[in-house]
Amino acid sequence: MHTAFNTYTEDMAWKNNCKKMKKMKQIASILSLVFILFLPSLANAAGVTELEGSFKFGPAIILISTLLLFVLVGILFRAKDTTDFYAAGRRISPVGAGMAIGSNWMSAASFLGMAALMYDSGYNGLAYVVGWTGGYVLLLVLMAGQIRRYGKYTAPDFIGDRFYSRGLRVFSAIMAIVISIAYCVGQFGGIGLMFKWILAIDYMWSVIIGGSVVLLYTLISGMLGVTKNMQIQYVIIIISFVIPLFILTYKFDYFWLLPPMGYGTAVSDIVRGIPVPPMANGMALTNVFGNEFVMMPSPEYAMPWDPSTGKSFFQFIAIAFSLMIGTAGLPHVLQRFYVVPKANDARWSVVWGLFFICILYWGAPVYSALGKILSINPEVGSLAKDAIVVYTAQLGGVNSLLVGFLAAGAVSAAFSTVSGLFVAGASSFSHDIYYKVINPNAKPKTQLLLARLGTVLMAFIVTLLALQNFALIGELVAAAFSIAACTLFPLFLLGIWWSEANRAGAVAGLTTGMLVTAMSITYFVCGKNGILLPGHEFISYYFQLWYFALIGAPLAILVNIVVSKFTKPTPVEIKKFLAKEVHAH
């Protein structure tokens, strides 16, 4: 009997491998098709030089081919049941999950927004790099393996079970949806900017068309197809981001072998200024830019917390802290730990993900510095800061096809994040609210249908908000991190590491975090509309929407601890489960 079972297992493994090989061949065929589609654009690419206002044929072909690839991969790896939709069948390898984490994380805020923030505020923009990178270190140390060992599908699923409360499950699910929507708004803005740049269409239609495409393949594929897409998207994101960087640093002599090493020299040029180069036989002798105008010294670009920048030490630390702990509370990030088979794989997926993320994060400051230098020509005019990565490549004379590929990489970055957020939000709606609370007898097909309806509703809300153009992409995304840091992060931190945390403490902590969040959002929205509420200056500085978690998150944790100490203790069975299953490894 044992031999028969082994034979059956081997047969199943062989069949699964055959299926994987078949799908890999299908993907190879798709990639070949995409390459063939690129070819017609080569003849038309050379003349694409205008920054704005013209249809760019070559980049448009690249973008359309890339989007077609995403949809086809989504169809090939579409979710067939709820386990596929929510957790990719729990059969993704650590490296594959790491690539998906990197792709999922490298949103439009990373690809476009970080360079935009540093282009705008210099050194102070590095707070976003520190916060977003440090957040994954925090995840690796505190949560990755423990979350996987707890064995739930979604963040609200963990919270509802750990704190034995249906009400907390519902409220955390609502917060997961709110966070997903807030995060998606910035991504849709990035999609709109790239579609506008390539297709020369109105921003509104750019957002609507781009959002419709990402919605289509998320509905088709669920987490399984989204995860497979993210692996492909990671390759596109990194290659498209790095190649123009090597070309630019080589062309302008900024240590092209390792572009991040040339960042310091570029910053020094910005700080000291760039004079008109001496000429000999019509050739520039010293200044490789060869401009006929000077760049005035800008010492404030490299000055942290200088009064001339309008930024302070408090704001720098507040942003870095809020982004760091917000990372550990984002539902779509936490959900990635459920797609791997084992807890050890979850930890290694974070290690790989952090490595893949850093490749892009080391390059973003270089784009910002080169963009600052290349955009000094008065004829360039005012540029959209959130598109400075693409403009830098274009102003630096990079081949227009590569610039188009760079724009496609930006769209891939936004798509990979939005799809993960849509799945996380839809899972919260269909699994945590409908299935776990409203109708426990719901069939898997009904759950999938509701998940897809929830995705459509989220996409509609996000589109409406993205069209308002509230702020820079990076700032909008930072708001989602602060919301997550004040609401979900305290529940995960205490739920995993302090067995005394109970339902009453969790309710009090979550309520505190939600009140701080509501206050910050209210003051921000009123301020944007010219309505000054009492204490506006104080709240706008210390509870700014991008970083209010510096005060709000510790306050929520403190309230949770105090209330837990003076109320009914956590059930013994939950304490035993934490000790034996989550920490006894």
Q: pLDDT tens digit string along 104-161?
A: 667 777 888 888 888 888 888 889 888 988 887 887 778 777 777 777 667 788 888 8
State the pLDDT at residue 210: 84
> Does the pLDDT at position 231 exceed 80?
no
Cβ contacts of residue 107 below 8 Å, gap of 6+? 113, 183, 186, 187, 190, 413, 414, 416, 417, 418, 477
21 lies in some domain:
no
Tell me, yes or no, whether 133 lies in a domain: yes
pLDDT at 338: 58
pLDDT band at 494 (very low <50, low <70, confident <90, very high): very high
Residue 107 gets the label, from left (phi > 0), alpha (psi -120 to 50) or beta, of: beta
Q: Is residue 47 part of a domain?
A: no
In this predicted structure, the answer to whether residue 300 has a pLDDT above a threshold of 50 is yes
Of 205, 224, 226, nearest in space to 216 by CA: 226
User: 17 lies in a domain?
Assistant: no
Note whether residue 520 is domain-resident. Answer: yes
**Conformation bin of residue 277: beta by default, left when phi > 0, alpha when psi is -120 to 50:** beta
User: What pLDDT is attached to residue 346?
Assistant: 65
Cα–Cα distances in Å, from 176 out to 149, 159, 333, 426, 466? Answer: 21, 11, 11, 10, 19
- Please report whether residue 378 resides in a domain: yes
Please tell me the distance from the alpha carbon of residue 188 to that of residue 467, in angstroms, as a whole number.
Answer: 9
Quick check: is 362 in a domain?
yes
Q: How far apart are CA 61 and CA 407, in angstroms?
A: 12
Task: Indicate if the pLDDT at residue 21 is higher than 80.
Answer: no
User: Which residues form the domain of 332?
Assistant: 28-40+53-582
User: Does position 575 have pLDDT exceeding 80, yes or no?
Assistant: yes
The verdict on residue 9 lying in a domain is: no
132 SS3 class: helix
Distance of CA 31 to the CA centre of its chain: 25
Q: What is the pLDDT of residue 228?
A: 64
Q: Quick one: which of 407, 366, 409, 374 has its CA closest to 390?
A: 407
Q: E strands of 66-128, at which residues?
A: none
What CATH number does the domain containing 495 carry?
Answer: 1.20.1730.10
What tens digit of pLDDT does each residue of 56-80 get?
A: 888 888 888 887 887 777 677 665 5
452: pLDDT strictly greater than 80 = yes
pLDDT band at 488; cut points 50, 70, 90: very high
d(CA 171, CA 515): 13
Query: At 46, is the pLDDT very low, low, confident or very high (cuts 50, 70, 90)?
Result: very low
Mean pLDDT, to the nearest integer, of 436-446?
84
Segment 292-296 shows an average pLDDT of 68
Whether the predicted pLDDT of 461 surpasses 50:
yes
Contact between residue 424 and residue 180 where contact means Cβ atoms under 8 Å apart: yes
Domain count of the chain? 1
Q: How is residue 295 annotated by DSSP?
A: B
